[in-house]
Structure 1
């Protein structure tokens, strides 16, 4: 039996994972809603530690960093005036780091993300954050349309349990499935930040 390959491999369009030295780090929606709100993620702790490591390594390497901040509605999810809508301290932007405010899952939709990335002049994006099946997935898919090459950091992403009919799909199962889907035709996936240095 032949080895199963991704669409990227079969089409000859695969590429090596990005390195911090030649990429932009894109950190998506690392906000308190996912720790203390109704969208609390079961795998948050480990993913947040990996995001903090990745962020520290990027800063030491002089890698451009773009933080994406989802703006919700007052009194609701990601309330921009409430603590749940704020970026977690472990991933808070430093002065001079770009912050993109978005209102849709896709960070390119209705924002100037593409223009800001173009100004940085790098086609390789290293992507991490929350949630794997939602904002990570939609942003990575859109990035391909703009010509970017995405590298996803598996252990620096997480999602939540989801209902389907009377059943519940486990967060880890959803995460693994979404990473496999994105790795098929939209991104290269690496296990952790050690692969990017």
Structure 2
């Protein structure tokens, strides 16, 4: 089984002093860094996804700003693929599917931000394209949301979306659990 790491939107605007700070972004990025280190050591494919906002009125991930840049914890190397996107789903109007098919990838390890939007949309799309998905929950972060005047804490948003993904779309694991699976001989 050929496996690739997909790092979704781990960009400066999601970190302290960014335009859309997420809860736990620093901690999640350090966990994603562990996954990235493993994939680099094993010389496995790594794909960095960078969201660039082009819709009118966008408040973050604006082109040519510091906030749109990939965070230093997971900075891409020259030989790692970087895909720019404009929608939550990393497959929409990008070369991601074509790249994965060309490399004969069958399993994806997904880390990133925001759990409830881009990680969720990309994971569901990947599943629909036939990929086995491992979502690394402690290498993902999100934020609190409100619904009908009720504030829903980030931890609950994170848990609810991961629980939904785990029900059908992905094996949701910690970094430690994911590494154990990846290190098992096939």
Q: Does 1:93 align with 2:80?
A: no
Does the aligned pair in 1 maintain the 2:11–2:70 contact within 8 Å? yes
Q: What's 1:54 paired with?
A: 35
What is the rounded CA distance, in whole Å, between the counterparts of 1:38 and 1:78 in structure 2? 8
Correspondence for 2:66 among 48, 59, 83: 83
Alignment of 1:3-22 (within 5 A): 22=2
Three-state SS of the structure 1 residue aligned to 2:19 is coil
Cα deviation, 1:71-118, whole Å, max 9, x if unaligned, reads 114973101200011110111110110111100000011111100111
Cα deviation, 1:98-157, whole Å, max 9, x if unaligned, reads 111100000011111100111111110000000100000001101111111100101001
Correspondence for 1:148 among 131, 136, 139: 131
Q: Does 1:129 align with 2:112?
A: yes
What is the rounded CA distance, in whole Å, between the counterparts of 2:101 and 2:59 in structure 1? 33
Q: RMSD of the alignment, in Å?
A: 1.5
Q: What's 1:27 paired with?
A: 7
| Per-residue deviation, 1:195 | 3.0
What is the rounded CA distance, in whole Å, between the counterparts of 2:109 and 2:29 in structure 1? 16
Q: Aligned residues, how many?
A: 177
TM-score (norm 2): 0.90
Does the aligned pair in 1 maintain the 2:4–2:45 contact within 8 Å? yes
Q: What's 2:24 paired with?
A: 43
Correspondence for 1:116 among 99, 105, 127: 99
TM-score (norm 1): 0.85
What is the rounded CA distance, in whole Å, between the counterparts of 2:172 and 2:59 in structure 1? 33
| Per-residue deviation, 1:165 | 2.2
What is the rounded CA distance, in whole Å, between the counterparts of 1:101 and 1:65 in structure 2? 14
Does the aligned pair in 2 maintain the 1:161–1:170 contact within 8 Å? yes
Alignment of 1:69-80 (within 5 A): 69-73=50-54, 76-80=59-63
| Per-residue deviation, 1:193 | 4.1
Give the gaps of 5 or more residues in structure 2. none
Three-state SS of the structure 2 residue aligned to 1:42 is coil
Q: What's 2:161 paired with?
A: 178
